[in-house]
Each structure stands twice: as C-alpha cells, then as structure tokens.
Amino acid sequence: MAVIAMLGYGVVGSGVAELILKNKNKFKNRLNEELVISNILVRDMDKYKDNKNKALLTNNIEDIFKKKVDIVVEAMGGLNPSYEYVKRALEMKKHVVTSNKDLIAEYGTELLELANKNGVSIHFEASVGGGIPILKSMNECLVGNEIKSIRSILNGTTNFILSKMNHDNMSYEDALKLAQKLGFAEANPESDVMGYDAARKLSILSTIAYNKKVYWKDINIEGITDIDINDFKYAKMRGCSIKLLGVSQKDADNIYASVRPVMVKENSVLGKIEDEYNAILVEGDAVGDVLFTGKGAGMFPTASSVFADIADIVIHKEEEAITFNEEEAKINKKWNTDGKWLIRIKTDDRIKVIENITANFTSSYILSNAISMDKDEVVAFINADSETIIDDCIYNLKKDGYVKSSKKLLIFEK
Amino acid sequence: MAVIAMLGYGVVGSGVAELILKNKNKFKNRLNEELVISNILVRDMDKYKDNKNKALLTNNIEDIFKKKVDIVVEAMGGLNPSYEYVKRALEMKKHVVTSNKDLIAEYGTELLELANKNGVSIHFEASVGGGIPILKSMNECLVGNEIKSIRSILNGTTNFILSKMNHDNMSYEDALKLAQKLGFAEANPESDVMGYDAARKLSILSTIAYNKKVYWKDINIEGITDIDINDFKYAKMRGCSIKLLGVSQKDADNIYASVRPVMVKENSVLGKIEDEYNAILVEGDAVGDVLFTGKGAGMFPTASSVFADIADIVIHKEEEAITFNEEEAKINKKWNTDGKWLIRIKTDDRIKVIENITANFTSSYILSNAISMDKDEVVAFINADSETIIDDCIYNLKKDGYVKSSKKLLIFEK
C-alpha cells in the first residue's frame, strides 16, 4: 500500500485525485499495490461542501503530517507555503511529487539535495511541458548523449496569443483579452507574457541537459508584450511565424540560454505547434534531433505526469531520480554565433540608419519604403556574426540621436 | 562494475561499443559505476583485422558465456541464432538488451517471462523508433492513461521512398532504386516495402499500449508496392501526402491494428515527417495527444536507445521493466468506423461502377473524366461507414465482371 497526501485541490490537484481513483484497480491487479489518499489540504473548506472527496479534505497542514504517509503530492503552486511544506515533507523522509516549476526553478538544487540526504526522492515531471514526458526522457533515455541544444515552446498562454495574432490578425491586446476570457491567461498575465514562466521551465530543462545549474534569473528573458502585427507581416515575408522560444545550447564552455520571441518557419516542426501545445526539440550528439510535443498544461495532461511520478516511486522505488549539479553554468545572454535577424529602427533619418546597417552586417536586405509598414521605420533582414554587433550598431546610432525606438528578432530557418 | 558482452558488431553494435567507451568517464564520475565490455561476438574475424577493439572480438559464442558477465547486448538482428543466444543468456541470469524487433515481435512474451522467472530483465527500447524513447515513455510516463490510439511512421525506408515519390515525382521503382543506392534500402527490400518491419514494431507498441498481446502476423499488413504516382496526384487534390502508417486503436473490446498506406494532410504532424524520421502519435485518455519524433534508425540513434537500456539496468536496477500480457487481443483488420477514402476502380463500364458507388456510400465525390488520370478508371473520394461496405461493394462489382483492378486508401484529415 502506498499512502499519498495531497497539498492543493485546484485544477492539477483534482485531476491527480481523479487519476489515482481511476487507476486504483489497475495498480491492484497488475502491480499488487494499493494507492490510498490520506488527506487533501485545501485553503477554503467551504468551497468543497458538495465534493465527493469531502471526507479527505482538511485546511490544517498538521493533519497531513501526523498521518503515516509515503508520498506527498504538492499541487498548490507558488513558493509560499509550498517551499516550507515540501522541505518539511522531505525532512520527514516522505517522497515528494510536485508540478510546481516556480518551486523547482527557485529551490531545485536545495530540495534535491535535501531529498538525497534523507534517502527519499522529489519528482517534478509535470513542472515542464505538462503531460509531455520530457524530464525522464532526457534524464534516462538520452543518458548516453551529450545534449547540444534545446529549442522549446514551453508556455501555452503566450503560444495561444501569438497563434491568434498570426492566424486571426489580432492585436496583442485583443489576443490577450481573448486568452483571459477563455481562461488561458490569468488576470495578471505577467509571469506568462513577460517570459518568466518559460524561463523557469527552460532553466529546469537546461540544468538537467547540461549537468550544470542554469538559474532562471540568469537567462536572457524577453516577453511578447512588444510584438506587434507588423512583426507578423514581416515574418510572413520569410514564410515564418513568431513563437516565444526557450533556447539553450552549448557555446564552447558556456551555455547560451534565452527566452525570446523568434521567427520560425511556419512549416517547421516548431512553427506547427499551436495554441496550448508545447514542444521540446532536443539535439543530442548520438540521437540527433528528437521532438516531443503534447499539451503543456490543463487538468489531466498535468495529472498524467504527476501520476507517472507517483508510479515511479511506487513501482520503481528510485531514490534519486534526477540530480541537479550545484556547479553553476556560465551563461551567455547573447546569441554570439552567426544568425539571421529582422531589425526595425524608427528614425527621422532613414539614410543614416541604412548606411550604418549596410556597413555593419555581412548581408542586409532593406525593405523599400513602399513595402515597409511605417514610413519612419527602417526594416531590414540581416545576417550578423553576433548579436553584440547588432546591439553595438544600434547603440551607436542611438547615441548619435538617430534612433527613436528599435527592436530585433532572431530568425530560425530550420 | 558492470560487465557487458556484445553479440554482433555491425552498424548498431559498433555504435553501442563507441557510446560505452565515450560514456565511461561520465559513468565513473557521476554514478561511480564502471562499464566494461568483456567480448564482442562476430561472425568473420578477418573483417576486423585493423579494428581498435580487435582484442575483444571472438567468433566463439562460448567465449561470451564463460566469462562473468552482467549484461548481454544482442545486436545481431534476425531470429537465428539470436533467439537461442538470448534465451541462453536469460537462463544464465544475465540481463539482456536488444535492438531486435524481429526477435521481440516473434518471441517477446516468452522471453519476458523467461527473464522474469530468472530474476533478470530484457530491455528493447531500440527495437521501435530507433533513438526515440517511446517504449519507456509509454510504459512508465503514460502509466496513468488508458491508451486510445497509436498512429505512427515506423519504417524509414518506406518513408524515404514515399517522400521521394511525393516531392520529386519519382516512380516507386526509381525511388526504391535510389534508396538502395544510398543504403536506405536493402538489396532484398521485402521486409520494409511489404510493411512487415512496421508491423513488428506496431505489434510491440500495441502490446504495451493496450496490455494485451497484439501478434504481428494478426495485424492487417499492406505494403507500399502498389502505390503509384497517380495516388500522390489524387492525394494532392486533398492537400495530402501518403505515408505508411502503423495504426492501432481501441474498437470496443477489440483492437483495430493495421500497417497500410494512408493519405494524411501534408501540414499535419505526421504529414511533416520525412525521409528517415519516425514518429509516434499516442492518444491517452488523460494526456491527450503526445507526439514523439526522431531518427528511426542509424548507428548512433539506435545506439542511444541501447545505451539507455544498459544505463537503466546499471543505475535503476529494474528487474522487470516492461511486461507483456499473454492474453491475446481480438484484432480487427478492417477500419470499421466512419472514414474517408480514395477509391480507384479500373473498369470497362464507368457508368455501372459510378452507379454502385453513389448508391453505397454516405457521400461520394467522383472525379470527372477530365481530371482522372486514366480514362478506364473511376476515381472517387468517398465517405463510408465502414471498410467492410467498401469491400462488399467492390466484391459485388467484381463478381459481376465490372472490375479489372481496384485499390482503396484511407484518408486521415487531422
């Protein structure tokens, strides 16, 4: 028998409770193990007056810890009080399963070490990519590979907004409002649209992939709030759409890591990932490119991964599933290899800006006035040896008063 | 220390040997385990006179079994003598890792039982999808799901041939010749082009997915040898290409299972899988659709999966990774739900055939003489409640002497 205590009974928590119930017989028959939920911690008992699991609910954390429990499932989200509760569970030698990327991105190293010290494990498959089995695949199935790069779509909210802007020609503001209306975006969408959510997930992926700590705040993070309809129009000229990509890759001894909007070919694998789907393209030195896609969030996709973690503990009894190396990676925030870019510079002096662009970059295709959407703007597709060269060029133009505003978008052509 | 004996030193075997060597230090440093190859069984010693692993080679199977070995890696392919050697290894309580789909599709149930009886395990991740971690994902990561369907591209040779026919307008014969010239197809391509290879892999996948034995010879198997350029022309009219799909799905208490050429939308995920790439789209009741893609064959992709299996045995010490239920599935060979189809019937009496088609199917769109590539042929896109209705219709027409030849292709529109 495996006794499971649950912290949180929201979307993820109730999905997990249902999957446990649904798989009870399968586990009993095939594996001779019984799964039992001891208690479920909720904040507001009144909210669940008519719930079928009412008898299991408590709003007192002590009820959770005073019972004999094997596994604690944390599905509350956020850092407070989940950090404290998870630490306490590990110290009491309970295995922990969590879907909480904030927690792992912030305290992963500490919590994994604590679990290890106490001879238990902490699993967090659902924290990245929802139902997609990416962490276990990377940790176990690709163990013979040196991971060279990750290109990923890790946030469903922004992918929904960008999909709407691309296909339905909606403005960012309208697409965000629609996402909020449909429940795909929160009232305060900051964590999603600013790229923080994707950065936390990319940091977890990258820490496993490169066996060095990639802390999420060290990643270059750009959100999608500056993306406008014209960006999509320019992208279409190159057969591209725009996706918020989590990208990391080996860059000599360093690791380049960023969350940023990128122009990707519409008919590429990542270009085809729409709405709430997530995708992770992993490049290993032996395996080549492997792509994983599926629903990145939602009740049952997330519960599917939480349940797999529970099963891992019950069946496979692994005590240390994933390890985080404490050694910190040196992180490059700039794309310092050859790249294609779209740059847009608002200016009162097109000639001066164009002069500088053609002088600075290996090649440049400058849109004529007639094609450009805004007469005060120089729009160019360029090839540059590094992002630094672009930033320097714009910095110098700005210093000399030629730039009212500017933006740049990396282009991935495969 | 984990001692590994290898049977076979061809493409897969030499890739595995190289990965073991490459990962030696990683294993020693991170996991405190040393991987050692004891011997490598080859048929012809002379072939490897200058090989760097020459000292490990033997052509005597007794050299393999007389040493203290923990894991036997079988990478010989075929059934004979691999079946005998693998059985012997299991009986001697050695763990086995194999990339051999023929062996697992034919003797999987028996070998898994034998492993279980002897307290060891047999792993075979590389037998399906090459480098794609699909078996472990399905067995462990989707364990909370009831699998509803699998749609998969499992054979790189046929996918290469069909890609060439689609994009370069090549005939089947020319595309096959090119594949043979480039080493993608064997001199005797039967196992690939007739669909047997894909059927073996689908049977392994389906046996795990539905927890019932799906024997490969019970699957409906159609190859690609009858696919012609006109099929692709008709497919294009619907925005489709043609892929050899391994399809299985729950069909009440039965399981529909087939390997057959299917028209799939060119811009769908499966439509985008080209050349030597494989893809497996798994539908679970909790997780929804999850897609896995990557290279389905080749030295290092395959070795990547074999190595992961070795690591599983060394690190995780699972004694019974995957189980095959002996209970046989009831298999439906026909697509007995609503479906869209292309049908082509060669006839001397178009009117009679058209009359029958319009009378038998829920809807039918019959190509006019002008569009049809062959004046003696009735070509129609139809909706039918089941495959049986189509077969009956053609059977009756044939009985009455109206059919010179006929073919039908299922169409998947999502």
Give the model confidence (pLDDT) of A20-43 as tens digits: 999 988 888 777 789 999 999 999
pLDDT for A91 beyond 90: yes
CA dist A219 and A246 (Å) reads 10
Tally A–B CB contacts below 8 A: 151
Partner residue facing A316 (CB), from B145, B311, B318: B318
C-alpha B77/C-alpha B8 separation (Å) is 8
- What does A29-63 look like in DSSP terms, one character per residue? III---EEEEEEE-S-GGGGTT-TTGGGEES-HHH
Decide if B351 touches A, using CB distance below 8 A: no
Contacts of A301 in chain B (CB under 8 A): 286-288
Which of B128, B135, B277, B287 should be substituted to probe chain A, the one whose Cβ sees the most A Cβ atoms within 10 Å? Answer: B287
Q: Which of B94, B101, B164, B201 is catalytic?
A: B201
Angle at CA of residue B143, ends A148 and B211, nearest 5°: 120
Where residue B27 falls among pLDDT bands split at 50, 70, 90?
confident
Which chain A residues have a beta carbon less than 8 Å from that of B132?
290
DSSP per position, B105-150? HHHHHHHHHHHHHTT--EE-GGGTTTTS-HHHIIIIITTTSPEEEE
Residue B320: band (very low, low, confident or very high) from pLDDT cuts 50, 70, 90:
low
**DSSP-derived secondary structure letter, A129:** T
Among A94, A101, A164, A201, the active-site one is A201
pLDDT band at B104 (very low <50, low <70, confident <90, very high): very high
Q: Is B166 left (phi over 0), alpha (psi -120 to 50) or beta?
A: alpha
Instruction: Using CA coordinates, name the residue in chain A closest to B301.
Output: A287
Q: Cβ contact (<8 Å) for A307 and B293? A: no
Average pLDDT over chain B reads: 94
Chain A residues inside the 8 Å CB shell of B294: 287-291
Residues in B closer than 8 angstroms to A269, CB to CB, are 272, 293
Chain centre to alpha carbon of residue B34: 34
What average pLDDT does the structure give for chain A? 94
Q: How far is A12 from chain B (nearest CA, A)?
A: 12
Q: Percentage of chain B with pLDDT > 70?
A: 98
Q: Kindly determine whether residue B211 and residue A293, on different chains, have CB atoms separated by under 8 Å.
A: no
Q: Which of B142, B287, B311 sits opposite A143 (nearest CB)?
A: B311
Residues 36 through 65 of chain A touching chain B, CB cutoff 8 Å = none
B55-B56-B62 Cα angle (round to 5): 125
Contact A289 B291 (CB under 8 A): no
Judged against a pLDDT cut of 80, whether residue A317 lies above it is answered with no
* Residue A298 CB-half CA count within 13 A: 19
How many angstroms away from the CA of B205 is the closest CA of chain A?
17
Distance from CA of A100 to the nearest CA of B (A): 18
Band (pLDDT 50/70/90 cuts) for residue A360 is: confident
* Contact between residue A101 and residue A38 where contact means Cβ atoms under 8 Å apart: no
Of A287, A303, A316, Cβ closest to residue B286: A303
Alpha-carbon distance values, B142 to A249, B187, B210, B288 (Å):
28, 39, 12, 10
Radius of gyration over every alpha carbon of chain A, rounded to an integer in angstroms? 24
- Mark yes or no for CB contact B133/A131 under 8 Å: no
Q: What is the mean pLDDT of residues B306-326?
A: 83
Q: Do A294 and B311 touch (CB under 8 A)?
A: no
Q: Report the percentage of chain B scoring pLDDT > 90.
A: 84
- Residue A152 to residue A264: CA distance in whole angstroms: 12
CA distance A221 to chain B (A): 28
List, in order, residues 6 or more apart from B54 with CB less than 8 Å away. B48
Is residue B334 within 8 Å of B387, Cβ to Cβ?
yes
DSSP-assigned states of every residue in B146-180: PEEEEEEE--HHHHHHHHHHHHH---HHHHHHHHH
**What are the distances in angstroms from CA B252 to CA B256, B329, B386?**
10, 12, 15
Alpha-carbon gap: B268 to the closest alpha carbon of chain A (Å): 8
A34 with A314: CB under 8 angstroms?
Answer: no
pLDDT tens per residue across span B209-263: 999 999 999 999 999 999 999 999 999 999 999 999 999 999 889 999 999 999 9
Distance from CA of B85 to the nearest CA of A (A): 26
Whether B136 has its CB under 8 Å from any CB of chain A: the answer is yes
| Chain B residues near residue A21 by CB distance under 8 angstroms | none
Under 8 Å between Cβ of A306 and A296: no
Which residues in chain A (287-306) have CB-CB distances under 8 A to chain B?
287-295, 298, 300-301, 303-305
Position A261 confidence tier, pLDDT thresholds 50, 70, 90:
very high
User: What pLDDT score was predicted for residue B398?
Assistant: 96
Which pLDDT band, with edges at 50, 70 and 90, does B318 fall under?
Answer: low
DSSP assignment, residue A121?
-
Please give the pLDDT value at position B364: 87
Residue type, A39: N
Query: Which among B273, B153, B293 has a CA at the least distance from the CA of A289?
Result: B293
CA distances (Å), A305 to each of A298, A309, B230, in order?
Answer: 11, 6, 45
Average pLDDT over residues B22-35: 83
ipTM of the complex: 0.92
Count Cβ atoms within 10 A of the Cβ of residue A305 and give its class: 0-12 exposed, 13-18 middle, 19 or more buried.
buried
- The domains of chain B, with CATH numbers, are 2-132+301-316 (3.40.50.720), 134-295+328-332 (3.30.360.10), 339-412 (3.30.70.2190)
pLDDT of residue A318: 64
Q: Which of B134, B137, B138, B143 should be substituted to probe chain A, the one whose Cβ sees the most A Cβ atoms within 10 Å? A: B143
- A115-167 tens-digit pLDDT: 999 999 999 999 999 999 999 999 999 999 999 999 999 999 999 999 999 99
A-chain residues near B323 (CB < 8 A)? 30
Burial class (CB in 10 A: 0-12, 13-18, 19+), B50: exposed
Clarify whether A181 is annotated catalytic.
no
Label residue A319 by pLDDT band (50, 70, 90): low
Closest to B354 in 3D by CA, of B334, B382, B384: B382
Distance CA B42, CA A6 (A): 55
Q: Is the pLDDT of residue A374 over 80?
A: no
| Beta carbons of B291 and A294 less than 8 Å apart | yes
pLDDT at A191 (0 to 100): 96
Instruction: Tell me which residue in B137, B272, B305 faces A269 most closely, judged by beta carbons.
Output: B272
Q: How confident is the model at residue B316 (pLDDT cuts 50, 70, 90)?
A: confident
Structure tokens at A370: 């007639």
User: With an 8 Å Cβ cutoff, is B142 touching chain A?
Assistant: yes
**Chain B interface includes A261 (CB < 8 A):** no
Q: A311 touching B, CB under 8 A?
A: yes
**What confidence tier does A414 reach under pLDDT thresholds 50, 70, 90?**
confident
Best mutation target among B290, B300, B320, B414 (most A Cβ atoms within 10 Å) is B290
**Of the candidate ranges A20-29, A59-68, B38-47, the one whose mean pLDDT is the lowest:** A20-29
Please tell me which residue of chain A has the smallest CA distance to B320.
A316
Q: Which pLDDT value is given to residue B172?
A: 97
Minimum-distance CB partner of A23 among B144, B211, B267: B144
DSSP secondary structure string, A258-298? EEEEEEEETTSTGGG--TTEEEEEEEETTTEEEEEEEE-SS
What residue type is assigned to position B221 of the chain?
A: I
DSSP three-state, residue A7: strand
- As given in the structure block, the two tokens for residue A351 are 């000639």
pLDDT tens digits for range A198-218: 999 999 999 999 999 999 999
Strand order in the sheet with B95-98: B57-58, B35-41, B2-7, B71-74, B95-98, B122-123
Residue A277: HSE in the Cβ half-sphere, 13 Å Cα cutoff: 19
High-pLDDT (> 70) share of chain A, %: 98
Is residue A320 over pLDDT 90? no
The vertex-A126 CA angle with A123 and A132, nearest 5°, equals 120
As a whole number of angstroms, the distance between CA B196 and CA B202 comes to: 10
- How near does any CA of chain A get to the CA of B209, in Å? 14
